[in-house]
């Protein structure tokens, strides 16, 4: 089955053609990130206007790459939430129009739940269940138990900022503008840890807490305090920024790994899956891979972690239900707490 999926929940405009939830036939993503750089972050109105301009060219690019056309597609899938209302509407209205005019079934998709299905794309070894799935994106940090590819139960999430948000806010404090987690990762890679250098220790929020919830808002306050101290003593140089970046990355990834392993132990899981933009972080992936535990670890390729439409199609194939196009609506605050 060939699904044409559309994703416009944030500033990306993405379309993909995926066969049977696993084979990528076409994948196109346009981002207006560079444009938001001058405003220091995403401006929803600017994002939506850009998406309106590029939605059809992006769909055409995905179809061309797949050597497909609208007629050769079996079903449509579209992100309906959570996300920015103006952005979601571009994708939803386009998909509904295609469903009506082509007379094809349409599957509404929850963006956050869909992230985890990037783990099933191009995966040669089938995932063994039960699995614990950590979704870490710009707006979400959620843990789920997956009893099967369809059965999800929400176990916990962030009480305040998401892990990606913590990366983004601290990146701004460290002078990386809106370049976010990737800039922190790159600066952290340059940091040379030696015995003599003055280690900055940042807190590991809720590391020893018994719940499966997270809290990252205190981290940015701690970084702000360190930055101000360094500025006062005129020590905020490149080396210190690299050290702070390294510590931010350590603090966030330590908590993510510990909580996920804890969830896996509590649920007697066999596997651990990670997904979402922060799952692209090489230190996070490395910590899971090297962790001394018996769980099989899965992570999507780095390019499938950040927003794209491939995993939207994969989710639609494995867990989605086609509905009447009239009932498909953009829902900016769509709940991600699945309680099965
Ligand atoms: O999933 P995503 O592309 O969009 C949302 O659904 O939010 O995630 C974006 C988030 C941003 O916070 C970005 O800073 C973070 O993923 N991110 C990273 C890395 N690449 C993207 N965080 C840490 N390390 C990275 N390499
Ligand atoms: Zn996302």
Q: Percentage of the chain with pLDDT > 70?
A: 96
Question: Strand 2-7's sheet: what is its strand order?
Answer: 23-31, 12-19, 2-7, 75-81, 106-110
Mean local confidence (pLDDT), 222-250: 94
Strands 271-275 and 152-157: unpaired
Distance 79 CA to ligand 2 centre (A): 10
pLDDT at 192: 79
Token representation of residue 38: 């001058």
Structure confidence at residue 35 as a pLDDT band (50, 70, 90): low
DSSP H or E run through 27: strand 23-31
- In whole angstroms, what is the distance from residue 22 CA to residue 268 CA? 27
Ligand 1 interacting residues, C-beta cut-off 6 A = 10, 137-139, 164, 167-168, 180-182, 185, 276-278, 280-281, 306-307
Whole-number pLDDT of residue 339: 80
Q: CA 54: distance to chain centroid? A: 22
pLDDT band at residue 38, thresholds of 50, 70 and 90? Answer: low
What is the position in ligand 1's atom list of the atom closest to the CA of 162?
12
For residue 18, what pLDDT is reported? Answer: 98
Give the confidence band of 157 by pLDDT, cuts at 50, 70, 90.
very high
CA distance 55 to 42: 18
Q: Name which residue leads in pLDDT, 200 or 37.
A: 200
- The CA distance from 87 to 45, in Å, is 8
- The predicted pLDDT at position 288 comes to 97
Alpha-carbon gap, residue 50 to 72, rounded angstroms: 28
**Lowest-confidence pick of 3-12, 118-127, 133-142:** 118-127
Q: What is the pLDDT of residue 47?
A: 86
Q: Is 88:330 a contact under the CB 8 Å cutoff?
A: yes
CA angle 38, 227, 241 (to 5 degrees): 75
Q: What is the dihedral of CA 325, 331, 336, 340, to 10 degrees?
A: -40
Q: Which two tokens stand for residue 53?
A: 């301009």
Q: What is the mean pLDDT of residues 81-92?
A: 96
Considering only 7-11, 16-20, 186-190, 192-196, which range has the smallest mean pLDDT?
Answer: 192-196
- The pTM of this model reads 0.95
DSSP state of 309: S
pLDDT at position 134 is: 98
Work out the average pLDDT over 82-110. Answer: 97
Supply the residue whose CA is at minimum distance from atom 8 of ligand 1: 277
Residue 174 Cα to ligand 1 middle (Å)? 17
**What pLDDT is recorded for position 45?**
84
Q: How far apart are CA 135 and CA 271, in angstroms?
A: 14
Task: Say what the pLDDT of residue 126 is.
Answer: 87
Q: Is residue 324 over pLDDT 90?
A: yes
301 CA → ligand 1 middle, Å: 14
Q: What is the pLDDT of residues 245-260, one digit of tens each?
A: 999 999 999 999 999 9
CB 284 within 8 A of CB 257: yes
Residue 198, pLDDT score: 65
Ligand 2 center–CA 111 separation, angstroms = 6
pLDDT in tens, 268-322: 999 999 999 999 999 999 999 999 889 999 999 999 999 999 999 999 999 999 9
Tell me, what's the pLDDT at 162? Answer: 97
Crossing angle for the helix pair 238-266 and 180-190, nearest 10 degrees?
Answer: 110
CA 180 to chain centre: 13
Q: Is the backbone of residue 202 left (phi > 0), alpha (psi -120 to 50) or beta?
A: beta
Q: Where are the alpha helices (DSSP H) in the chain?
A: 33-37, 44-65, 85-102, 111-115, 163-173, 180-190, 217-232, 238-266, 282-290, 302-305, 310-319
């Amino acid at each position: 089955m060939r699904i044409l999926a559309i994703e416009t929940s944030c500033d990306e405009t993405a379309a993909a053609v995926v066969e049977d939830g696993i084979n990528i036939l076409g994948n196109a993503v346009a981002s207006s990130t560079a444009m938001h750089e001058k405003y220091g972050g995403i401006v929803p109105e600017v994002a939506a206007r850009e998406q309106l301009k590029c939605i059809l060219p992006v769909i055409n690019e995905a179809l061309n790459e797949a050597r497909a056309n609208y007629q050769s597609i079996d079903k449509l899938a579209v992100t309906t939430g959570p996300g920015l209302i103006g952005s979601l509407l571009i994708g939803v209205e386009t998909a509904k129009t295609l469903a009506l005019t082509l007379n094809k079934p349409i599957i509404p998709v929850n963006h956050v739940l869909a992230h985890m299905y990037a783990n099933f794309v191009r995966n040669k070894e089938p995932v063994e269940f039960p699995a614990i799935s950590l979704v870490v994106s710009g707006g979400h940090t959620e843990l789920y138990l997956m009893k099967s590819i369809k059965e999800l139960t929400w176990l916990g999430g962030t009480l305040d900022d998401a892990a990606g948000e913590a990366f983004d806010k601290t990146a701004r404090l460290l002078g990386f503008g809106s370049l976010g987690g990737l800039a922190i990762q790159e600066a952290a890679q340059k940091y040379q840890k030696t015995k003599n250098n003055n280690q900055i220790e940042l807190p590991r929020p809720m590391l020893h807490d018994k719940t499966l919830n997270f809290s990252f808002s205190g981290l940015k306050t701690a970084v702000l305090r360190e930055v101000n101290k360094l500025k006062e003593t005129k020590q905020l140089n490149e080396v210190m920024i690299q050290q702070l970046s390294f510590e931010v990355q350590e603090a966030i990834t330590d908590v993510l790994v510990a909580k996920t392993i804890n969830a896996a132990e509590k649920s007697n899981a066999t596997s651990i899956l990670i997904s979402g933009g922060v799952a692209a972080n090489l230190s996070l992936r490395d910590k899971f891979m090297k962790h001394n535990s018996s769980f099989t670890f899965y992570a999507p390729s780095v390019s499938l972690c950040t927003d794209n439409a491939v995993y939207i199609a994969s989710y639609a194939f494995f867990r989605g239900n086609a509905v009447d196009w009239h009932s498909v609506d953009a829902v900016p605050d769509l709940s991600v707490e699945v309680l099965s």
